[in-house]
Structure 1
Amino acid sequence: MLTSGVGFFFNNVVMPKPVLNFMLIGMAFSAAFSNMITEKRLEQIMQAFNPFLGIAMILVILNLGAPLDYHLIMGAGMFTAIYIAARALGKYFGAYFGASITKSPQTVKKYLGFTLLPHSGVSLVFTGIAVSVLSGPAPECAQIIQGTIAAAAVINEIIAVIAAKKGFEWAGEFGNGAAAVRAPEEGICHE
């Protein structure tokens, strides 16, 4: 609440016009706060906060999807194909390049990009921001963006999830987390 209050103050009193993004202010506060407390305390806070977070995420996704005109999905064809292809290539080759310069194992180089393909709610949030900004000066662009991202989200949640699962399988990562049991007194892992 204090962070939001500071944001409102700067947006309405200090700045000539509102320019601050409250989602980014909240993310910055969360990152700083989580790095200032111990891991044990952070875990306690998250356990208490997770039910509220789940409800908040549902409300955000419903709010973004409620005004969506699903007829826009059909009209976004070529834009959607270009967006999905560019995003997939960027994710795959970006992960490959990052893994190469950090000298990560071959499995990371080859398969990390596949695991990054599924869409997240973040793109929907930024779509909502872009549409609200463009709806006044360029409503036709706002409709194209909304239709493109909505169609890509639907397609990616089918295809990209399968690709991500395959990436984990090909990397040999399925089952590794469940098999390793931490022995706290020894500080080592046993299979």
Structure 2
Amino acid sequence: MFFTVIGIVSTKISEQSLPYYVVFLVVLLPIVVGIVAGIPAGFILKKERSQKSTVVLLVVTILIAAGIGLIFNHIVLPKPVLNFMLIGMAFSATFSNMIPEERVEKIMEYFNSILGIGMIIVILNLGAPLNYHLILGAGLFTAVYIIFRALGKIGGAYFGAKITHSPTTVRKYLGPILLPHSGVSLIFTGIAVSVLSGPVPECA
């Protein structure tokens, strides 16, 4: 999907006031920012601390990563184009790979309530402006998409569970559980929209 987004942006960017290098910065710079902010966070969070201290330090490091992104977005770059979801993914992947697994589990246990609220806000924000009449108006395309997505999810989950000798309950129910759109699919849709909304709003 990122390559599709880059292709659309690069073909349309000549109509905008943004230079070509911004196309690459849209994807690469947020990852770099997340990694740069995640490395000190890994060193800070590696040490065992109380639940309160851990949550405060994690929130502070997240805000620092977001702050760096805001500086690039509003001061360094000619227009706001950075995707903060990519910064967050790179940040969390970096620090979580620097500390022991047991410590990661503790941090996640401490942070889960805040993360849950954050995910609800993100998903509501992505879904609130959705016009369901447009989905229903797509007609055959929508029907084909829903049918083939359901077949892929159910069939793929069943096949995967069968070849890995998973329990019967996994074979029967994993596919239908995967059907709703949420989590990663909404996040990546949001990334695509935010990337396109600056340089190519009609495609977003």
Question: TM-score of the superposition, structure 2-length normalised?
Answer: 0.50
Give the CA RMSD over aligned residues.
Answer: 3.7
Deviating above 4 A after TM superposition, structure 1's stretches of 4 or more consecutive aligned residues are 85-96, 103-107, 110-118, 129-132, 134-139
Change in CA separation of 1:39 and 1:137 when aligned onto 2, cut-off 3 Å:
closer
1:57 aligned partner:
119
* Alignment of 1:75 onto 2:129: no
The Cα of 1:9 is off from its aligned counterpart by 2.1
Query: Hey, what's the Cα distance between the residues in 1 that align with 2:131 and 2:180?
Result: 22
Equivalences for residues 119-130 of structure 1 within 5 A = 119-130=181-192
1:186 aligned partner:
none
Query: Number of residues paired by the alignment?
Result: 139
- The SS at the match of 1:36 is coil
Equivalences for residues 12-27 of structure 1 within 5 A = 12-27=74-89
* Alignment of 1:38 onto 2:100: yes
1:6 aligned partner:
68
Change in CA separation of 1:20 and 1:89 when aligned onto 2, cut-off 3 Å:
farther
Query: Hey, what's the Cα distance between the residues in 2 that align with 1:67 and 1:25?
Result: 24
Equivalences for residues 1-191 of structure 1 within 5 A = 1-85=63-147, 87=149, 117-131=179-193, 133=196, 139=202
Asked if the contact 2:83–2:191 (Cα under 8 Å) also holds between the matched residues in 1, the reply is no
Change in CA separation of 1:138 and 1:29 when aligned onto 2, cut-off 3 Å:
closer
Query: Hey, what's the Cα distance between the residues in 1 that align with 2:198 and 2:140?
Result: 21
In the alignment, residue 145 of structure 2 is paired with which amino acid? Y
2:17 aligned partner:
none
Query: Hey, what's the Cα distance between the residues in 2 that align with 1:85 and 1:95?
Result: 15
Change in CA separation of 1:83 and 1:44 when aligned onto 2, cut-off 3 Å:
same
Unmatched 5+ stretches in structure 1: 143-191
In the alignment, residue 64 of structure 1 is paired with which amino acid? L
Query: Hey, what's the Cα distance between the residues in 1 that align with 2:198 and 2:71?
Result: 26
Change in CA separation of 1:34 and 1:125 when aligned onto 2, cut-off 3 Å:
same
Query: Hey, what's the Cα distance between the residues in 1 that align with 2:157 and 2:129?
Result: 34
Query: Hey, what's the Cα distance between the residues in 1 that align with 2:193 and 2:87?
Result: 20
CA offsets per residue over residues 58-97 of structure 1, 9 Å max, x none?
A: 112222222222322321222223333554576689889x
In the alignment, residue 72 of structure 2 is paired with which amino acid? F
Question: TM-score of the superposition, structure 1-length normalised?
Answer: 0.52
2:29 aligned partner:
none
